[in-house]
Amino acid sequence: MIKECFVVLTPSVEEYIQQGVLDVTDIEHMVKTAATFAKESYFIAFHSNKTTTSVTDGNGNVLDEISLNIPENIWFIFDESDDSIICTGLLPHEY
């Protein structure tokens, strides 16, 4: 069965989009990257490294490095039910 996938962004992440700090395509890139590792960890973190971004799991293991400049660390948490997957993007202070 194919599950519906919903992406939810917290107000602080939405504000970065509204201010033009992040583009919708940047968020889409992070969601797609996080989704590739979601089976390994329900928690995926993006860590700013000035010009690139490290992608880690909940235990700090580096999973990938992407060419994306983000203003601060951004987390994605996946929650799966019988018929859907919810991917929530948030900043660490919003947890």
* Interval 12-31: pLDDT, tens: 999 999 999 999 999 999 99
Strand partners, 54: 47, 65
> What is the rounded CA–CA span in Å between residue 48 and residue 17?
17
pTM over cut 0.85: yes
Strand partners, 93: none
Tell me: the pLDDT tens digits for 26-62? 999 999 999 999 999 999 999 999 889 999 998 999 9
- Is the separation of the CB atoms in 37 and 63 below 8 Å? yes
**From 3.30.450, 3.10.450, 2.40.128, 3.90.350, which CATH number describes the 4-94 domain?**
3.10.450
Neighbours of 94 (CB within 10 A): 12
Neighbours of 86 (CB within 10 A): 14
